[in-house]
Amino acid sequence: MLSPIQVLCSDITTLSLEPEPFASYTEADIISTVEFNHTGELLATGDKGGRVVIFQREPESKSEPFSQGEYNVYSTFQSHEPEFDYLKSLEIEEKINKIRWLPQQNAAQFLLSTNDKTIKLWKVSERDKRPEGYNLKDEEGRIKDITTVTSLQVPVLKPMDLMVEVSPRRVFANAHTYHVNSISVNSDYETYMSADDLRINLWHLDITDRSFNIVDIKPANMEDLTEVITAAEFHPHHCNLFVYSSSKGTLRLCDMREAALCDKHSKLFEEPEDPSARSFFSEIISSVSDVKFSHSGRYLLTRDYLTAKVWDLNMESKPLETYQVHDYLRSKLCSLYENDCIFDKFECAWNGSDSVIMTGAYNNFFRMFDRNTKRDVTLEASRESSKPRAVLKPRRVCAAGGKRRKDDISVDSLDFTKKILHTAWHPTENIIAIAATNNLYIFQDKLNSEMH
């Protein structure tokens, strides 16, 4: 079973392991993305206020050698500021849409962050020594009078308190007409792609003044527009392959070796629609909100409004597995359309061995599905149920008119303002990060095993 190790608040000024209940928050404090680095030692969150907060995992305690290290604040910085496009008279929000870590090559860490228009590359480094003993400067850094310098000395490095420095290394701007929804680092670690509603661009990490357009689905006449790009990701091992999803529920696998412009896909993954189940909401709920390659690169995980699906790259005709995330909402689609919840974009995640998938739901619930045993569980990320070191209890939602057991929650009493849109899974361990409004919950498997 999973047990929470921490409850963290996105607002660093009030950060604590157990925030005050009912603490107030602003729109800027709402977490908009969560991402572990490649080792899982660092965890980054972005929020609607344009801030990035990095948490670092503490080493295991010597007194408790089997206890997992907790994640504490490592650094926080302002990644994006609100801007105004005077040409189009549009405000550009500072909200962080996505964060992607680059694999560590040296002592420093690098990450990409993006808002709707501009992608930035950040360097995160540590400094625990400072130089002293300059010949031409005094201790306060002022330039000495050269005539007073009578001897030469060799500067030395003296220990100092650890300081984490975050500096912008590159700014990739002016390449997207529409809102950026995805960024993905290539397995060659030299290039990355960024996707907006109609185009996907390929960038080199060292070149900021130009990018290559590799997908363009914009029609000559915008009245002919029938679908938009919703997410895109590179294959984890083959640098020439990438996939992008659409609002029509399709996935397109593209091979950059075939042509410079990948408008013609290599494979199209699409599930045939059941005519008897078609309704006014069919197209909306079939829109893919997230797509993720498995760590092995063999499978694709997608999330639409009601389901999570696993696709085999070798089988395009239908998904290998389909998991109902919250099928009890089918009777509520009309009211969910009226309050715009039907347009919520839920993310999904694989565990390190690709055997379990995770995705969010409403009422601060999140769902986990074991692909081997076909068992699933609904858990809740809330302050009331997530006391540190306590074991999470499975929750169950009772459909309208269904038989209700003790502790079941009626679908009519779900809080649709509390939603788990953003989740992340540690790359090798059973540790998950769940963003619930302005709180970050970190859970771990108490038994250090797979789901039970």
pLDDT tens across the length of the chain (452 residues) = 555 545 444 332 223 333 444 457 888 999 999 999 999 999 999 999 999 999 999 887 655 555 556 899 999 999 999 988 887 788 889 999 999 999 998 889 999 999 999 999 999 998 877 777 777 777 677 787 777 777 787 877 777 777 889 999 999 998 999 999 999 999 999 999 999 999 999 999 999 999 999 999 999 999 999 999 999 999 999 999 999 999 999 999 999 999 888 888 999 999 988 787 778 888 999 999 999 999 999 999 999 999 999 999 999 999 999 999 999 999 899 999 999 999 999 999 999 999 999 999 999 999 999 999 999 999 998 877 667 777 888 888 887 666 677 778 888 889 999 999 999 999 999 999 999 989 999 988 864 434 43
| d(C-alpha 249, C-alpha 230), whole Å | 10
What's the pLDDT at 451?
Answer: 40
What's the pLDDT at 12?
Answer: 27
pTM of the model: 0.86
Cβ proximity of 9 and 16 under 8 Å: yes
| d(C-alpha 270, C-alpha 249), whole Å | 7
Domains of the chain with CATH codes:
5-445 (2.130.10.10)
| d(C-alpha 195, C-alpha 290), whole Å | 12
Helix/strand/coil (H, E, C) string of the chain?
CEEEEEEEECCHHHCCCCCCCCCCCCHHHCEEEEEECCCCCEEEEEECCCEEEEEEECCCCCCCCCCCCCEEEEEEEECCCCEEECCCCEEECCCCCEEEECCCCCCCEEEEEECCCCEEEEEEEEEEEEEECCCCECCCCCECCHHHCCCCCCCEEEEEEEEEEEEEEEEECCCCCCCCCEEEECCCCCEEEEECCCEEEEEECCCCCCCEEEEECCCCCHHHCCCCEEEEEECCCCCCEEEEEECCCCEEEEECCCCCCCCCCCEEECCCCCHHHCCCCHHHHHCCCEEEECCCCCEEEEECCCEEEEEECCCCCCCCEEEECCHHHHHHHHHHHHCCHHHCCCCEEECCCCCEEEEECECCEEEEEECCCCCEEEEECCCCCCCCCCCCCCCCEECCCCCCCCCCEEHHHCCCCCECCEEEECCCCCEEEEEECCEEEEEEECCCCCCC
